Chains A and B, each alone.
Chain A
């Protein structure tokens, strides 16, 4: 019995961390149709911001929940102004430039901190189910995923800002005629997406090894999840993250973690073949 509970917790953990890691990319892709291949490096920057401020004596929660998103949001602002704003509407060029950006960020961080692994201890303790151990941090991550989902949904659905954002997403020309400044909307969207990604980086910092190249492990998965999810930002990402997260953990339980990953990638390929518009292109059309 206990083993099923543990596997269920693993699945929950897989889904919630995948969702958190993808949300920022989904916001940017869903709003602006820009694929940010430096997404993994934004996660890495969030993790570094957390580790470095935590090791400098800042409370770990403040480092994770405030320093990381603020810092990466700022980085996002600079990048949007200097690079991304020239690339709207040029999908392939934006992919190439952000790929270059990801290499550049890896290079900068390697030059400053060296190619060594850093880490912070995981906060909150563990608990045991039967003879198995799990940590409260898993539950905290799931709570954060739900919190972020509710927050994004609330902002997009019920506030004036969300209305403007959705209007610009649907029809930039019309929104501009009505007095909205699309440039500013795109800029803020990119910054919000970067900040959310930074937060995700901060949240995974205690449970992963932090190296300059760590982003590479996330970017393909995030890319896959967002594209597999389709155009609807929230429902698409959530459904794709649930599918892939569950497949990964269950596959890893029955075989090895490596084949769990392989299973996820295969699922993604089959999914895109069957639903070329992503999950939300078929099932949640017009939703958020």
Chain B
């Protein structure tokens, strides 16, 4: 009964989300819609880290490496082909390949926690330094001039697939970006409810037990890492489509830090939380940028510290717990005598099983 109810509720929410994405251009002004497009692209990036960190237990300090590679792959091939159709594919494939190589190196070397952090961080720095020093005419790939620190301006934006001369309007760009966000969310949601997703979570919970049950944790982590790299690359393409520009700051450490802040604020171990955290934090940063009183670093830092110390679960899980308590509290009082004991025993059994 409860399962069917929650399925119906989820279906309703998905339909509502589709309707919201569809009607937003006719409700909001152009500027607000452009901003939402940016937030949605960033939220896809947030989902990519939310998946491997929250469900795979892999904290990558360099998720921007894949984001940036996706952005550059898109920009370079879009300049060369003047058509976004193959470029978007390349923006997914190239970061995924890079993630495969890096992940093989990391997971088959059994490198974990701090060491994994150092490696992903340094890879990002390597990419930043390399791309940053590509100014000058000799650094070009095909027709695309890399431009070093100045980046690549005037990158062709998305067009209707296979019709290079029909560029998407801002409304259509929003539909694509919002649609991709919803699609990635549903994809991850589906994956996590399938056995494959459960194995990823099992490896996070107890690597030894998972391997004794016959799964290879190295392979599972590698596959999760590749999927996450592909999603981050797609986010990079969406980001470049939003601004028609890509520069080396796309690899920056501060952006890597921001993704981690989004997830911490929204709630680790959920998929909705990172999206909420991303939109909230990006909105705050944009708001602070428009006035002079406060520095955005100051606010972001304070927010992160407050959340780690006082609300370590993040917004969405905290809100969910609150709602659950409100929903269940009256029932528990009514059936205090006959339900309380078995349900708490069942709960503790569940906790033990997890």
A residues in contact (CB < 8 Å) with B: 35, 83, 86-87, 91-93, 95-97, 99-108, 110-111, 216, 220, 223-224, 227-228, 256, 258-259, 261-262, 265-266, 268-269, 272-273, 276
A-binding residues in B (CB < 8 A)? 59, 105, 109-111, 113-115, 117-119, 121-123, 125-126, 129-130, 132-133, 253-254, 257, 260-261, 264, 294-305, 308-309, 312
Q: Are A258 and B132 in contact (CB under 8 A)?
A: yes
* Chain A proximity of B99: nearest CB distance (Å): 15
Chain A nearest CB from B113 CB (Å) reads 7
Q: Tell me whether A100 and B132 are in contact in the complex, defined as CB-CB below 8 angstroms, given that A95-B117, A111-B298, A223-B118 are known contacts.
A: no
Answer whether A92 and B59 are a contact pair too, CB < 8 Å, given A104-B301, A106-B301. yes
- Chain A residue at smallest Cβ distance from B122: A265
CA of A266 to CA of B130, assembled, Å: 12
Contact B122 A269 (CB under 8 A): yes
Determine whether the beta carbon of A91 is less than 8 Å from that of B113.
yes
- Closest A residue to B132 using CB positions: A258
For B298, what are the chain A residues with a Cβ–Cβ distance below 8 Å? 103-104, 106-108, 110-111
Interchain CB contact under 8 A, B305 and A220: no
Question: Are B115 and A111 closer than 8 Å at their CB atoms?
Answer: no
The 10 lowest CB-CB distance pairs between A and B, nearest first, are: A107-B298, A100-B304, A104-B301, A103-B301, A107-B297, A107-B295, A100-B305, A258-B133, A97-B308, A265-B122
Contact A276 B115, CB 8 Å, known A93-B312, A101-B301, A262-B130: yes
Given pairs A100-B302, A268-B122, A272-B115, 11 additional interface contacts (CB within 8 A): A35-B114, A92-B113, A97-B308, A100-B304, A103-B300, A107-B299, A110-B297, A223-B118, A262-B126, A265-B125, A273-B119
Cβ-defined partner of B105 (8 Å) among A87, A100, A104, A273: A273
A224 touches B118 (CB 8 A): yes
Residue among A83, A99, A220 having the largest count of chain B Cβ atoms under 10 Å:
A99
Given A220-B121, A258-B129, A268-B122, A99 contacting B114 (CB threshold 8 A)? no
One of A83, A108, A220, A223 near B309 (C-beta < 8 A): A83
Chain B residues within an 8 Å CB radius of A224 = 118, 121-122
| Distance between Cα atoms of A93 and B59 in the complex (Å) | 12
User: A residues within 8 A CB of B297?
Assistant: 103-104, 106-107, 110
User: B109–A111 contact, CB under 8 A?
Assistant: no
Give the chain B neighbours of A227 by CB distance below 8 A. Answer: 114-115, 118
* Alpha-carbon distance between A259 and B253 when the two chains are bound, in angstroms: 19
Q: Check B308 against A100 for contact (C-beta < 8 Å).
A: yes
Chain A residues whose CB sits within 8 angstroms of the CB of B105 once the complex forms: 269, 273
Looking across the interface, which residue of chain B has its beta carbon closest to that of A267? Answer: B122
Which residue of chain A is the closest to B257 with respect to CB atoms? A99
When distances are taken between beta carbons in the complex, the residues of chain A under 8 Å from B125 are 220, 261, 265
**A268 with B129: CB separation less than 8 A:** no
Q: Which residues on A sit within 8 Å (CB–CB) of B305?
A: 83, 97, 100-101, 104
Query: Are A265 and B309 closer than 8 Å at their CB atoms?
Result: no
30 contacts between A and B (CB under 8 A): A35-B114, A83-B309, A91-B114, A93-B312, A96-B304, A100-B303, A100-B304, A102-B301, A103-B301, A105-B301, A107-B295, A108-B295, A110-B295, A224-B118, A224-B121, A224-B122, A227-B118, A258-B133, A262-B130, A265-B123, A265-B129, A268-B122, A272-B115, A272-B118, A272-B119, A273-B105, A273-B111, A273-B119, A276-B109, A276-B115
